Chains A and B, each alone.
Chain A
Amino acid sequence: MPPSRESMQNRGDEDEVCPVCKSSRYLNPDMQFLINPECYHKMCESCVDRIFSSGPANCPVAGCHKTLRKNRFRRQTFEDINVEREVDIRRRVMQILNRREEEFDSKRAWDDFLEQREEIIANLVHGTDVAKTEANLHSYAQANMHSIRANQALEAQEASSFQERQTQEQELARLRREVARQEYENERREMLAGREDVLSRLAAGGPGDAAAIAREGQKVLLKKSSARRSEEERIRQKQAALRGSENKKAGQAALTTADKAGGIGDPSFIKGLKRIKTPEPEKPYDPFGGLAPNKRDYYTLRDYYPSSYLDPLRQNVRAQAGGYDLQEYYSRTLLEAFAGLGCFINEEVAQRDATSSLGATKPVSTEGAAMAASSKSPAESF
């Protein structure tokens, strides 16, 4: 049994001393050491309380001028402070560079990406090119905010669904165990009852048919058990099928979300990302196919035209109540007055006939078909 974290921290460090206030564990056995991921200098809880309660302050360790905040202080996870730091950096970088394998064109590109990420982490841990790497990381985070957030959500979802699946599986296993136990119980009880039955019949019956009764009882028992078994088999199969389809569905759902989660790629930083095809934004539907509905070239429509036989209609309640609108009449008559005024059939149709000889030949062909039909008909009627 491994020692708990508490005991590990306290183990053998009786003489451990807080580097700030120099109080030792020997004097204060409840002493807890905290660190701040800003500079990873260790100090005891009371020091943190004392120094940082009234807002941010400089690190008290000599030579370290980092400004620390109380809320960032936490318990150390790893004994080695370097490991602690690396894990922190790794977590931060992984959070930003959280591309997923399905976002890459090829396996190679994904591997390159992994290597690049490791390199960045190593740079930050070992302090090579820190400023430049940080700047890169920052700009990437800025540019890909959406995809980062989407991938984070995806990860969280996966984690939660994994959790869920596990609990579900456990539940199912429990149910199966329960059912098996029940089954065994039933079988035993039935066997006992059958035996009882045979015995009672033997007791009641004559001496001659003892063997027959015994055989019969055996048969009944067998039949029952086989029926039960087939029934169970059926149920089991159904459950399996159900489970399979569920799994499939879950897989599909995951895939679609992954597809959707792709963000804007940054070709300068991460290479080999799949181009995400954003569908063309649909143009607004134009019901008139390019014609301006109320534009006219020959006339300007008025609200009212004097007319001796239309004027009474304007006052006619019965006509108006039905939704009849004289405006419609005006626009229609004027449109028909000029529609086609500039269409010169002489030229346009001649041109059309020249380009496609369809218009002239088609009716002729139907006539031909009619003739064929009519010439065939007497032969058929004979």
Chain B
Amino acid sequence: MIEDDIYRTSSQFRLWSFTEASLQSLRATTNATACERVRSDIRKSRDAPQSASSSAAGTPAANPGSDVDSKAGEGSEDDCLTPAEEHQLVQYFCEQIIKLGEMYKPPLPTIVRATATQYLKRFYLTNSPMTYHPKNIMLCALFLATKTDNYYISLNQFAAGVPNDPKPDEIIRFEFLIMQSLRFTFDVRHPFRGLEGGIMELSAILEGLGKPAPHFPSQSPDELKRKLQSLSPPQGVQQGTSVQDRLARAHHGTREILKTAAQMTDAYFLYTPSQIWLAAFMVADRPLADFYLDTKLGGPVDENNKGNPFYELRVKLLRTLTDCANLLQSYTPPVSNQEQKNALRRIQKKLSRLQPRDKPEAVGQKRIPAAATDSGNSESEMERLAKKRKLDGAQANDLFGGELVMQRTKQTQGQQPPP
């Protein structure tokens, strides 16, 4: 199918599609790496004051020292977030993005909010909330999404809409870090437009304007229309409603699912956008979705339909769509649940103790040269040298700066006697 080949060229498919297992292992690895960092930080901070106190006072250090030791040891063991907790936290902030987007006047478009949500999710695949607090990343992700989705809003305007009035610089500080973690792929394929297309075609069929699918040229507009009109109604709806109303309702229902469940679950990583919207459509109106697929891929799935060239595909697709629909249906808005709220509060409290000791931007800044290229080490070295050179250039009044090697040796010599 040519449309599938077109989708396979997208960065969403190439870089941001995972199986359930690989997604889990990726999150686990990220969590483990971050935990290691946290523990080593704790150990360092524990060692440093201890040595300072022992060298300074010397005498009464024995008992309190062991006390601190035991406390810190206990903290480092179970203070780290588990992957599940991290996931829960990220999900919470995804919801915050949606909410924040609604607070603007006019509200940010759904697509911008959805893109920002996906950015956040993608970001936290390879980064841990323990390293970068989501409340910082979230704002920047949303601002980045307004840019990539072509919805212009100035940074000051954007900052004015955020509660607690953060400084614009604070918001934008993580932008490069995010872009880098997104591997510079900003294209998020959403299911929203696909839904519009499907509804558009269904209403064309309803008006007797349907065109046969390329592989089923025998379909006639009238036949399609008759079939559509004679569909059995979905559960919980009376017989009387017109097909137009039914379409509109299904459209609305699907859209709601796409706006919430599809964003909050891992659907984007596990399924393609067209599968997502069709699964959501299935949730909203099963017979309609089945009918639509039948027009595209031929007859209902049963034994006597095995001659159909797309039988295999249809069966596989049905399985995938059902899985996806189950995933979408499994989502419940977490804020409605007091227990979840409490859990979140606990996680946040834990997190506040785990943030890196040095300022987070320092981590961010350090990281940029290291990860921007694969040969991180030499790059950062280069940058350091360049900076040194610049510094020297400012100091020395030699018009073109001194000789490079000379300058370096001078620098090191100058540094050795500490001021």
Contact = CB atoms under 8 A, between A and B. Distances in A.
Interface stretch (A99-107, A212-220, A373-381): A373-381
B27 to A, nearest CB: 11
| A300, A339, A344: most-surrounded residue (chain B CB, <10 A) | A339
A302 B197 CA distance: 12
A227 interface: no
Interface stretch (B3-11, B83-91, B154-162, B227-235): B3-11
Interface string A292-304: 1001111111101
A301 B3 CA distance: 13
A27 interface: no
A246 B147 CA distance: 59
Nearest to A367: B33
B126 interface: yes
Interface stretch (B15-23, B136-144, B397-405): B15-23
A340 B274 contact: yes
A346 interface: yes
A298 B3 contact: yes
Interface residues of A, number: 52
Interface in A293-330: 295-302, 304-307, 310, 330
B363 A373 contact: yes
Given A343-B7, A371-B36, A371-B37, A302 B211 contact: yes
B33 A364 contact: yes
A336 B274 contact: yes
Interface stretch (B95-103, B257-265, B313-321, B409-417): B313-321
Interface residues of B, number: 75
Given A297-B215, A302-B209, A373-B366, A337 B204 contact: no
A268 interface: no
A293 B76 CA distance: 58
Interface in A91-126: none
Given A338-B194, A346-B320, A377 B366 contact: yes
A366 B128 CA distance: 12
Given A333-B196, A369-B367, A373-B370, A341 B204 contact: no
Interface stretch (B165-173, B354-362, B387-395): B354-362
A345 interface: yes
Contact of A378 (B44, B125, B271): B44
Interface string A266-309: 00000000000000000000000001100111111110111100
A141 B381 CA distance: 71
Contacts of B362: 377, 381
A371 B317 contact: no
B211 A300 contact: yes
B80 interface: no
Contacts of A353: 19, 22
B22 A344 contact: no
A344 B2 CA distance: 15
B198 interface: yes
Contact of B207 (A306, A336, A369, A372): A306
B213 interface: yes
A345 B201 contact: no
Contacts of B29: 364, 367
B49 interface: no
| B2, B26, B36, B277: most-surrounded residue (chain A CB, <10 A) | B2
A340 B275 CA distance: 7
A45 to B, nearest CB: 84
A341 B275 contact: yes
Nearest to A366: B371
Contacts of A330: 197, 200
Contacts of A297: 1-3, 214-215
B249 interface: no
Contacts of A344: 316, 320
Nearest to A298: B296
B30 interface: yes
Contacts of B17: 345, 349
A359 B15 CA distance: 7
B203 A306 contact: yes
A307 B200 contact: yes
A370 to B, nearest CB: 5
A298 B212 CA distance: 10
A332 B125 CA distance: 30
B201 A305 contact: yes
A298 B213 contact: yes
A375 B6 contact: no
Interface in B181-207: 181, 189, 193-198, 200-201, 203-204, 207
Contact of B33 (A301, A336, A359, A371): A371
A300 B213 contact: yes
Nearest to B122: A363
Contact of B4 (A295, A339, A346, A373): A339
B22 A341 contact: no
A296 B2 contact: yes
B301 interface: no
Contacts of B200: 305, 307, 310, 330, 333-334
A348 to B, nearest CB: 8
The 8 closest A-B pairs by CB, nearest first: A340-B272, A340-B7, A333-B197, A337-B197, A363-B126, A337-B194, A373-B366, A339-B7
Interface of A: 291-292, 295-302, 304-307, 310, 330, 332-346, 349-350, 353, 359-360, 363-364, 366-378, 381
Interface of B: 1-8, 10, 13, 15, 17-22, 25-26, 29-30, 33-34, 36-37, 40-41, 44, 125-128, 131, 181, 189, 193-198, 200-201, 203-204, 207, 209, 211-215, 270-275, 277-278, 296, 313, 316-317, 320, 356-358, 362-363, 366-367, 370-371, 376
12 contacts: A291-B5, A296-B2, A334-B201, A342-B1, A345-B271, A346-B19, A369-B376, A370-B370, A371-B37, A374-B358, A375-B37, A378-B41
Given A305-B203, A342-B4, A371-B37, 15 more contacts: A292-B2, A296-B3, A333-B196, A339-B3, A340-B274, A341-B275, A342-B3, A359-B15, A360-B22, A367-B126, A369-B370, A370-B363, A370-B366, A374-B363, A374-B367
